[in-house]
Structure 1
Amino acid sequence: MARAIWTGALGFGLVNVPVGLYSATEDKSVHFNQFERGTSSRIRYRRINEDTGEEVDYDDIVKGEEIGDGRYVIVAPEELEEIAPGRSRVIDISDFVDVAEIDPIYYQKTYYLAPQDDQAQRAYALLLQAMERAGRVGIATFVMRSKQYLAAIRPQGEVLTLETMFFADEVRDPVDEIEQLPVRQSFTSRDLDMAVSLIDSMTTEWDPGNYRDTYRDRVNELIEAKRRGDEVVTEGEPETASNVVDLMEALSASVANAKGHRPGNAQDTGGLTTRRAGADADGGDADRPGEDLGDLSKKELYDQAQELDVAGRSTMTKDELEDAVRAARQGDGRASKAS
């Protein structure tokens, strides 16, 4: 069971609800250490004085803000502590707004808010149900780890969530950041209708389970293959069309291709092939009786093609994968009989 990373109270008018803050998300990226190539020696970093070349103890390090011309204003840690936000333990809701009014660009990270004890349960439930009925989001400020945060509090099922937010001056203006701003264009009704038709054909109900980090999957596959000592072969990615110059031609082709659209990116695959060390590249599984390949998804067909080491599978359509898997199985069957 996770522990609260912050405890305090949620202030709602004159009502204070004791709550704990819990991380609602986790980073599942693959994190690597660094080594010198060809060795098992880890790379370490030290704090070095660039003038003397000597290592500096952490306690002797202060911070500096550059003010131009290579000059800095030096600030000591104790000076920052004196002006740090107070150690208030209250998430103070100051306003309620319509959630549709908040641009998602302001959202930063999501946490769960939970009652600290049994005595807080009733007040917590009252606030949760009142916010559900009102259809509003609470806007609050609070201090965590010597930093002040702006936050949006909203009901989500049986719990309240807290989204830390960027302050207004932390969101960049696209006019200042983008060298070539988009220019308003004019289109005929037919052009717009075709674009809307494409959007409609690709519209589905939101299901986060439809989406995977396919790059992370390939990284984990690579690590596992190298752990087993397998040979790793990387195939090229499917070529993308680079010679389409007619926007409406491309749009029309997209509408045709979107028929039978499957939601999510789970069918996306990479070009990583692994073979057991010393294994014959043409080896594979025997035919699986009773299984109709036509009933399998493209992802399932791709997985079987990968098991059978079908060449060029990353660029195949679903029908091509089905034919290739069937042919590979038949080939394996003949090989087994011959042996």
Structure 2
Amino acid sequence: MAAGSVWKGTLSFGLVSLPVRLVNAHQRHGPQFHQFVRDTNARVRYRKVNEETGEEVRTADIVKGAPIDDEDEYVVLESEELEEIAPGRSKAMEVERFVPAGAVEARYFDGAYYLVPDSKAAAKPYTLLCSVLERQERLALSTLVLRDRQHLVLIGPQSGVLTLSTLWWPDEIRDPAEIVPSFPDVSVADRDLDLAGQLVDAMAEPWRPEEYTDGYQERLEELIQAKASGRRMHHPSRPAPRENKVVELTDALRASLKDDRKGDRPAKGTKGKKTAGKSSEPRSKAGSKAGSKAGAGAGAKRTRSGRTKSSAADLESMTKRELMGEASKAGIPGRSTMTRDQLQDALAGSRRFAGAS
């Protein structure tokens, strides 16, 4: 099995079959932590021990037990008994049906993988399946035995390749009626619907995943590098959380619209690729604009490469989200916890804006 593959076999639809490999679509970023005894280099290890004697137990002496009616009673299951009913390591995955794209609710999705053709001969049927699913806006439904467990899977095209998502079985989905507490029936006024619609329009933007970064991960990496080089990190103080005052719904919607137009809405993650040099679009149907941006008028300077360099006035006119994007480009540490004013001050003093008037 090729490196990185978690499964290898044949995918078939009708009488068409092709060899494929399954590769993880995700890779968790960040350092892997280990545990040590304080003030020593001794690693902390975990052992399997007998809870009654405290003695370590060999793997060969461990069996599995499943609780029955009373949780204090268990039935012991031997490895041989489990192997007899296991689904086996199937090397075949057959499409059972095609369903409309978007028909499966988000709560059913679990893991994500890429399906990769495993031979040159598989390239044509692979491309055919990817193209026809994209044209007809459908997804392939199948089952797959992965890691000794049977999974319901959904296969579809994405970015020119086939992706496979494992799904939760229907009886594994929790009924929201059992979890969400009941609340009284309420009616929503048209006035509030209109205001909420304006707020949604004001905050509506295309999905650009590259604009989001893990702010905590950035700070963690900065901390590790600082400690490794004997430095101390000094992050700006976190802004005080907003008070959770009970506000009338209509007033809250109006205040949210006003806040968004000023650009002071809290950013979720590090976001923003809007650069100085492009004039802003209307931010809501109410007609408010976020302010004139640099590059289209006076105040913008050109570098030797022809790119626009922002002035202090340009920074003043930017929204918090745009400042966050510029701070990300400038590599300013601790930016994800900064207020709008702190972002503006940090950008004004950075090399990116050095020399701008």
| Superposition TM-score tier, normalisation by shorter sequence | 0.7 to 0.9
Question: For residue 322 of structure 1, what is the aligned residue in structure 2?
Answer: 344
SS of equivalent residue, structure 1 residue 220? helix
Asked if the contact 1:267–1:298 (Cα under 8 Å) also holds between the matched residues in 2, the reply is: no
Asked if the contact 1:30–1:216 (Cα under 8 Å) also holds between the matched residues in 2, the reply is: no
| Cα distance in 1 for residues equivalent to 2:75 and 2:184 | 42
Distance 1:326 1:128, change over 3 A: closer
| Cα distance in 1 for residues equivalent to 2:339 and 2:220 | 22
SS of equivalent residue, structure 2 residue 88? coil
CA-to-aligned-CA distance 1:101-159 (integer Å, 9 cap, x gap): 11011111111112111122222222222222221111100112211111000011321
| Cα distance in 2 for residues equivalent to 1:81 and 1:171 | 27
TM-score (norm 1): 0.80
Question: For residue 108 of structure 2, what is the aligned residue in structure 1?
Answer: 106
CA-to-aligned-CA distance 1:219-257 (integer Å, 9 cap, x gap): 111111111111234554211221532232222111112
Question: For residue 164 of structure 2, what is the aligned residue in structure 1?
Answer: 162
Question: For residue 31 of structure 2, what is the aligned residue in structure 1?
Answer: 30
Question: For residue 219 of structure 1, what is the aligned residue in structure 2?
Answer: 220
Offset at residue 182 of structure 1 (A): 4.7
Question: For residue 252 of structure 2, what is the aligned residue in structure 1?
Answer: 250
Pairing of 1:165-244 with structure 2 (within 5 A): 165-178=167-180, 180-233=181-234, 235-244=236-245
Question: For residue 155 of structure 2, what is the aligned residue in structure 1?
Answer: 153
Offset at residue 174 of structure 1 (A): 1.6
Pairing of 1:1-339 with structure 2 (within 5 A): 2-67=3-68, 68-178=70-180, 180-233=181-234, 235-246=236-247, 247-259=249-261, 265-267=269-271, 292-294=310-312, 295=314, 297-299=322-324, 300=326, 314-318=337-341, 321-323=343-345, 326=348
Asked if the contact 1:141–1:150 (Cα under 8 Å) also holds between the matched residues in 2, the reply is: yes
| Cα distance in 2 for residues equivalent to 1:313 and 1:104 | 28
Q: Bigger shift: 232-241 or 13-22?
A: 232-241
| Cα distance in 1 for residues equivalent to 2:176 and 2:241 | 29
Asked if the contact 2:157–2:163 (Cα under 8 Å) also holds between the matched residues in 1, the reply is: yes
SS of equivalent residue, structure 1 residue 5? strand
Structure 1: unaligned runs, 5 residues or longer: 269-289, 334-339
Q: How many residues align?
A: 306
TM-score (norm 2): 0.76
Asked if the contact 2:4–2:24 (Cα under 8 Å) also holds between the matched residues in 1, the reply is: no
| Cα distance in 2 for residues equivalent to 1:326 and 1:123 | 55
Distance 1:79 1:194, change over 3 A: same
Asked if the contact 2:212–2:271 (Cα under 8 Å) also holds between the matched residues in 1, the reply is: no
SS of equivalent residue, structure 1 residue 229? coil
| Cα distance in 1 for residues equivalent to 2:336 and 2:107 | 38
Distance 1:124 1:48, change over 3 A: same
